[in-house]
Amino acid sequence: MPDDIITQSSDDQGILSGSCLPIDQEPEILSLRPENFSDYIGQSEIVETLKIAIQAAQQRKEPIDHVLFHGPPGLGKTTLAHIIANEMGGKITVTSGPALDKGGDLIGLLTHLEEGDILFVDEIHRMPKAVEEFLYPAMEDFAVDFVFDKGFHARSHRYKLNRFTLVGATTRVGLLSAPLRDRFGIFRSLDFYNEQDLVIISRRSAALLEVKIDDKGAWELAKRSRGTPRIVNRLLKRVRDYAQVKADGVITKETVNAALSLEGVDEKGLTNLDRRFVKTIIEFYNGGPVGIEAIAATLQEETDTLVDVVEPYLLKIGFIIRTSSGRKASEAAYRHLGYSVQKKLFQ
Ligand code: ADE
């Protein structure tokens, strides 16, 4: 099981968490992952950039430039890395920043790569600095420098690597050091998917799982998935169970609504943790502005979880606003949670 998988998720976030959970590694869920560009829906500009880079590299008989993907969890960074490997006809080795404890771990992976292979490093911003330094010559010159002995007796030996492509993924590009960031030839940010694309993904996944879904059911599922394909696929499994046990097996708007109410997912796809986040700003901090550390302390949640998993979607739908003095709840958030907007404006 890859190291980035969160084995204990927050009770509140559950299957609505964008983060990778054990369920995402189940064969049935993995089978929904598109394997090439022709099956990949959404992120059209990124797909176009990658297709051109791959075609050009193949014509020149070179590996493609190193690629860095940035964006919230669940939007397809890992999927795109697998697709690049498939389209390039190379193998992919998957690891993550926190799993690379020592320089030796990384060297072991690098020396086993063949020409044109992909090394995928998830959460690359969490790679230790000492390991990162081995990556610089590997990315730039396709070489690693072994250092023997220390101090006066230190000698180094350069070991040639096969030409490979590093694909890095991060939820926090700001935490990447400039020397590492600058060594990627292609840098793209993935954005949340629009509802139309999520509807197509819902239909595609339902067809692969051999479950019937009608048009309104697909739209409702798309609406409640926080702009995130990974969440579409997780919710689809829950709704499939509900439709099988409580209805005639067909996924409709009604079965989606009933099944997802049981999961604590509201009409906008918000979870309990999302709602608690916004309510904390409104009730404890008078609508904000308030610093993220204060919100994390009140909620007794990790700041990183709030910044990486909870906030991006709330920012996207305009429920919170980030200002230089902290986070504020928007009027739309007040309305959605049933607070009087008048009350806020006159306070
Ligand atoms: N499943 C998960 N993400 C997908 C995507 N972008 N396109 C098609 N199916 C998906």
In the chain, where are the structural domains located? 27-189, 195-263, 272-346
Over residues 258-264, mean pLDDT: 92
Read off the pLDDT band of 8 (50, 70, 90).
very low
Instruction: Specify the CATH number of the domain 272-346.
Output: 1.10.10.10
Q: pLDDT digit string (tens) for 295-346?
A: 999 999 999 999 999 999 999 999 999 999 999 999 999 999 999 876 555 4
144 CB under 6 A from ligand 1? no
> What span, in angstroms and rounded, lies between the C-alpha atoms of 278 and 109?
43
| Sign of the Cα pseudo-torsion (239, 304, 191, 71, in order) | negative
Q: pLDDT digit string (tens) for 163-191?
A: 999 999 999 999 999 999 999 999 999 99
Cβ burial, residue 323 (10 Å; 0-12/13-18/19+):
exposed
Going by CATH, does the domain composed of 195-263 fall within 1.10.8.60? yes
H/E stretch holding 308: none
Instruction: Specify the CATH number of the domain 27-189.
Output: 3.40.50.300
Q: pLDDT digit string (tens) for 80-123?
A: 999 999 999 999 999 999 999 998 999 999 999 999 999 999 99
Calculate the alpha carbon distances from 7 to 239, 262, 263 in Å.
23, 22, 19
Residue 36 C-alpha from the chain's centroid: 18
Main-chain dihedrals φ then ψ at residue 41, nearest 5 degrees: -105, 140
pLDDT score, position 345: 53
User: In percent, how much of the chain has pLDDT > 70?
Assistant: 94
pLDDT score, position 148: 81
pLDDT score, position 153: 86
Question: Quick check: 75 pLDDT over 50?
Answer: yes
Read off the pLDDT band of 30 (50, 70, 90).
confident
Strands 92-96, 67-70: parallel, antiparallel or unpaired by DSSP?
Answer: unpaired
pLDDT score, position 155: 87
Å from CA of 119 to ligand 1 middle: 21
Question: Quick check: 13 pLDDT over 80?
Answer: no
From the alpha carbon of 40, which atom of ligand 1 is closest? 7
192 CB under 6 A from ligand 1? no
**Which token pair is 104?**
């030796």
Read off the pLDDT band of 10 (50, 70, 90).
very low
Question: Quick check: 19 pLDDT over 80?
Answer: no
Find out whether the peptide bond into 289 is cis, omega within 30 degrees of 0. yes
Question: Quick check: 197 pLDDT over 50?
Answer: yes
User: In percent, how much of the chain has pLDDT > 90?
Assistant: 84
Q: Give the mutation target among 29, 204, 225 for probing the ligand 1 site: most ligand atoms within 8 A of CB.
A: 204
Å from CA of 34 to ligand 1 middle: 6
pLDDT score, position 3: 39
34 CB under 6 A from ligand 1? yes
pTM: 0.91
